[in-house]
């Protein structure tokens, strides 16, 4: 399968920092100015496909990217996320961590409420503790 990141001839022109195993570059469809993607240099689709060294390299770059974005854009916070599989919004099958600098008044959703952003918007009743205990038991039985 072709990878949009691996085959992007212009990606290197957008790189802001890299290390031995990962690189950070500006996205071509930014939510806000400074929206950065951090990827492993090796093409793998999911977080669990990464080696421990690749994970460490990605998170080290994330710390540096956050720091420089704060200085550059005076941002007040960040959205940091990745999507896995098409059903969850992953359109490029190469793991990529989004680092989105946020400040009051910027465009896009800045009040991140998972229930609004990801699923079942609106208020819902809390689940009963007994139901949650049964679900927890079911999950624990599969470890």
Positions annotated as catalytic residues are: 96
How far is 95 from 60, CA to CA, in rounded Å?
16
**Would you state the structure tokens that stand for residue 15, as one six-digit string?**
């790189």
Q: How far apart are CA 31 and CA 86, in angstroms?
A: 19
120 in the Ramachandran plot: left (φ > 0), alpha (ψ -120 to 50) or beta? left
- The kind and range of the H/E element at 79 are strand 77-81
């Amino acid at each position: 399968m072709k990878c949009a990141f691996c085959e992007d001839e212009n990606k290197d022109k957008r790189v802001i920092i890299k290390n031995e195993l990962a690189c950070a570059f500006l996205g071509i469809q930014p939510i806000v100015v400074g929206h950065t993607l951090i990827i492993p240099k090796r093409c793998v689709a999911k977080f669990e496909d990464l080696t421990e060294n690749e994970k460490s390299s990605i998170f080290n770059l994330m710390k540096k990217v956050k720091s420089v974005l704060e200085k550059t854009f005076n941002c007040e916070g960040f959205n940091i996320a990745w999507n896995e599989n098409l059903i969850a919004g992953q359109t490029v099958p190469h793991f990529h961590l989004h680092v989105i600098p946020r400040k009051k008044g910027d465009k896009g959703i800045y009040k991140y409420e998972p229930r609004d952003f990801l699923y079942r918007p609106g208020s819902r009743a809390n689940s009963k503790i007994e139901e949650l205990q049964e679900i927890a038991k079911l999950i624990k039985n599969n470890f």
